[in-house]
Amino acid sequence: MLIQFNFKNFRSFRDDATLDMSATKITEYNDHVISIANEKLLPVAAIFGANASGKSNVFEAFKYMAMYVIRSFYYGDEAENKMEKSEFVPPTPFLFDKNSSNGESSFEVYFTDVDNGSEKVYNYGFSIDQKGITEEWLNYKSKSSRNDYKTIFYRNKETLDLVGLPKKHQENIESSLNRETLIVSLGAKLRIEKLKLIRNWFLSCETVNFGSPEENIFWSRLLPKGFIEDKKVQENVIKYFSTFDKSIIGFNVEELENPENNKKKKVKIDSIHKIIDSDDTTTISLREESAGTLKMFSLYPVLQDVLKAGSVLFVDELNARLHPLLVRAFMIAFLDPSINTNHAQLIFTSHDSWQLNSQSLRRDEIWFVEKDSNGVSSLYSLADFEDEDGTKIRKDENYEKNYLLGKYGAIPLLSEFDLFKEEL
């Protein structure tokens, strides 16, 4: 489980930002709290903020870190061809400050995992500039250890310390490592188990951006595993649909010849609907269903995978094209321990203030992003927020009302659209 995600100097975030999934000492919804490896963690974090406040940049920061861990083996000297080498993508720093625009960006996670049957907490991170890695570190502590982390490796421009890795692999890493490649990525390719565990944790996490039209198309075409040939999988999808749309009662799946590629067949999927006041049915192409239905269809495979793996699902603009009740139903799948048996986590951004209420979320599961007059974004939780008198927010407050009134910040500053006034 993710304990904490820290990042700095990335897009609109110039200063240190922390998304903390640790439960604070508040009293509401104790059933949300998951105890693991001496940590008390939360299954959900909901991030709210105005348009252009930077809340999507929290998502993009996590996505960038995961991408770099997974793909950096192919950068630099380790790339097999020039096309792979060109894939190196430096981060976008905060550009409205002379120091930060030329500075390095940093990304760090704390998470729990099981290694050789033992629960451990890992601390992994790296700093990177426009030329490559400037620093990288990996530490761990066992469940029985409260505070003392042990070093697995540390690296900066002058130092390479591989003390926690098998000696037989240290020479391979020293000879193969380059400026653009992470030790974790290289070590996973070399089949070093400790480093594969870190790389695989990032591989199991899912990031979905429903604010991107291109990603919407990609996810809408992604079918659940076994959907084409396995009727049981189709039945499970119908059961999932029935929680929000009972009009679809089945699917017709047909594989067609592909004139462009004989080895890869095209798949035609029709949804089956019941005709009113009749026992007959009719079909329409799945692509003709509503945008909301297609979005829920696209969420099914990733929801299935994340709940099974007990990993992290980070969704940007979860509320786009979804009714607030559907968003809440999706959120409850992670909050309900009878469904979320493997402790998966959902982190999402949203404009939907209806989810901001004390009937669903704890104060430490609610987060805000606000951008100041200099264009600098900051991230903070409702549990940590204090009003002008230094008083913490009470659990019986009307969060939605107070948020829209501007009590917690992170709302747009509105003025009249003077542009459209008629000139006198």
* pLDDT one-digit tens code per residue, 252-272: 999 888 877 766 778 899 999
Does the structure show a pLDDT above 90 at 18? yes
Q: What is the 3-state secondary structure (H, E, C) of the chain?
A: CEEEEEEECECCECCCEEEECECCCCCCCHHHCEEECCEEECCEEEEEECCCCCHHHHHHHHHHHHHHHHHHHHCHHHCCCHHHHCCCCCCCCCCCCHHHHCCCEEEEEEEEEEECCEEEEEEEEEEECCCCEEEEEEEEEECCCCCCCEEEEEEECCCEECCCCCHHHHHHHHHHCCCCCCHHHHHHHCCCHHHHHHHHHHHHCEEEECCCHHHHHHHHCCCCCCCCCCHHHHHHHHHHHCCCCCCEEEEEEEEECCCCCCCCCEEEEEEEEECCCCCCEEEEEHHHCCHHHHHHHHHHHHHHHHHHHCCEEEEECCCCCCCHHHHHHHHHHHHCCCCCCCCCEEEEEECCHHHCCCCCCCHHHEEEEEECCCCCEEEEECCCCECCCCCECCCCCCHHHHHHCCCCCCCCCCCCCHHHCCCC
Instruction: List every span in the chain annotated with CATH 3.40.50.
Output: 2-205+311-404
Residue 21: is its pLDDT beyond 70? yes
Average of per-residue pLDDT across 187-201 = 96
Could you please state the CATH topology (level 3) that the domain comprising 2-205+311-404 is classified under: Rossmann fold (3.40.50)
pLDDT at 315: 96
The pLDDT value recorded for residue 293 is 85
pLDDT for position 423? 57
Flag whether pLDDT at 403 surpasses 80: yes
Share of the chain above pLDDT 70, in %: 93
* Mean pLDDT, rounded, for 326-348: 94
Residue 419 has a pLDDT of 55
- Average pLDDT score over the chain: 90
**405 has a pLDDT exceeding 80:** yes
Q: Bigger pLDDT: 69 or 291?
A: 69
